[in-house]
Amino acid sequence: MHCYKILLDRTGNVNEHPCHSIIPVEFETEGVSMQILTCSMLNQSTGYSIIKIVDEKDNNIKEGFHEAEFGECTINKLFSKCYLAMVINKNCLLSKLINESGCFLTSAIPKTDTLIEWTLVGSSSKALHNLTNNMKENGYKFELISSENLFIKTTLTPKQEQYFNIAMNLGYYDIPKKIDLNELCCILGCSKSTLNVVLRTAEKKIFEYYRIASSKIRF
């Protein structure tokens, strides 16, 4: 996988509106920050995004459904000072370009009302290069901040892979568990202490892979 981080300038596309402009909260309100967590396409010109809103100053953001000229959103409070907005943007060519490219927008953070810091992930640098070229051809301006491979080596030993896969397949990680550690020991022919160490070591490697990959994608 490959990752681009870009600073997108939306001032050149006056007929379109960024998703955060549909939310009924002034972008420059003190203590308010927004981040697009994911974006998809509903049709050829309509984007659908999930935006996290953090309100450090308790500005009394109103929950519920809100309608705007170019779209609509529904805001729900997750917990103190944190909200999620489900936004439908009815005039967004960018969602079409992203979805057609096979790449993913994993984060978008407004820096000003028109400058947005994007994190894009694709299967290769070529896929991201094709996407950004299409964006340029459609009048979008941006600055490339960084370009990075997301290759992270995480290798389980044959025993770790075998024990982990059997545990997964037999429901050891299901909620509730379908099999316990003692039953797994009987099937695998090993001691409980050995199995516990092997599984915990495999789990640590998998969790560490997820932690590093997530931090790289979200910067």
What tens digit of pLDDT does each residue of 49-62 get? 889 999 888 777 88
pLDDT computed for residue 198 by the predictor: 92
**DSSP symbol at 21:** G
14-39 tens-digit pLDDT: 677 788 888 988 767 788 888 888 78
What's phi and psi for 45, nearest 5 deg?
Answer: -130, 5
pLDDT at 216 over 80: no
68-113 tens-digit pLDDT: 888 999 999 988 889 999 999 988 888 889 888 988 888 888 888 7
pLDDT computed for residue 211 by the predictor: 66
Q: ∠134-135-141 over CA atoms, to 5°?
A: 145
pTM: 0.62
pLDDT at 219 over 50: no
State what percent of residues in the chain have pLDDT above 90.
Answer: 29
